[in-house]
A and B are shown apart, each in its own frame.
Chain A
Amino acid sequence: EVQLVESGGGLVQPGGSLRLSCAASGLTVSTKYMNWVRQAPGKGLEWVSVIYVDGSTYYADSAKGRFTISRDDSKNVLYLHMRSLRAEDTGTYFCVRWNEAFDIWGQGTMVIVSS
């Protein structure tokens, strides 16, 4: 079964850092474009970042300079390193495979930025 399982979310103070992980099974993260998408409580979907097969990375303006997407091919895990977190970063973060559009989504991990 193809599955993406996120972890690493939690409560963090403004200005703090967090690392999200996405463990893949039934698929290889290095052979597809992999993304992070977030959703603030009660709001719409917001694309955050993508890592291509060749390792190229791209970010939404809201994430540039603060977030870093990466992967560990030996562990088949996708990461999102987040720093200088703000209240507006609060939400559920989804790990998503880009195959034919965004076809496989994880269950998400909740990030709350609050003092």
Chain B
Amino acid sequence: DIQMTQSPSSLSASVGDRVTITCRASQDIGNYFAWYQQKPGKVPKLLIYAASTVHSGVPSRFSGSGSGTDFALTISSLQPEDVATYYCQKYNSVPLTFGGGTKVELK
């Protein structure tokens, strides 16, 4: 099975900082890749699909890039409401594996 490795597992940044989270697939998954945001005590929400397409209603400060095995989620200017855990996921084939998550906190 293809493994999804996220890094870092956690980070602390200041409001206004540019934040980048990466995810690596152990095999080529094309662009069948998504990012999710889960705020504390809440349900996960889709942010990015097809590696770089921003889901409807998601603020423009969120962007995704990459294809094949290496992907990134960038928050161009971190806001207090962005405190959350972010998960990557592959969906090219089953199993539809998630990464381990990246917890983003405010400094």
Interface residues, chain A, with chain B CB atoms under 8 Å away: 35, 44-47, 50, 58, 60-61, 94, 98, 100-103, 105-108
B91 near A45 with CB under 8 A, answer: no
How many residues on chain B are close to A (CB under 8 Å)?
24
A50 near B100 with CB under 8 A, answer: no
Residues of A within 8 A of B99 (CB): 44
A108 near B89 with CB under 8 A, answer: no
CB of A51, distance to nearest CB on chain B (Å): 11
20 pairs of residues in contact across A and B, judged by CB atoms under 8 Å? A35-B96, A44-B100, A44-B101, A45-B87, A45-B89, A46-B98, A47-B89, A58-B95, A94-B44, A100-B46, A100-B50, A101-B49, A101-B89, A102-B36, A102-B46, A102-B89, A105-B44, A105-B45, A106-B43, A108-B43
Residues of B within 8 A of A47 (CB): 89, 95-98
Smallest CB gap from B95: residue in A: A60
How many A-B pairs have beta carbons closer than 8 Å: the answer is 58
B10 within 8 A of A: no
Interface residues, chain B, with chain A CB atoms under 8 Å away: 1, 34, 36, 38, 43-46, 49-50, 53, 55, 85, 87, 89, 91, 94-101
CA distance A105 to B53 in the complex (A): 19
CA distance A58 to B93 in the complex (A): 10
Residues of A within 8 A of B98 (CB): 44-47
CB of B40, distance to nearest CB on chain A (Å): 11
Choose from A35, A45, A58, A100 the contact partner of B53 (Cβ within 8 Å): A100
A102 near B34 with CB under 8 A, answer: yes
Residues of B within 8 A of A44 (CB): 85, 87, 98-101
Residues of A within 8 A of B1 (CB): 61
Choose from A61, A94, A101 the contact partner of B91 (Cβ within 8 Å): A101
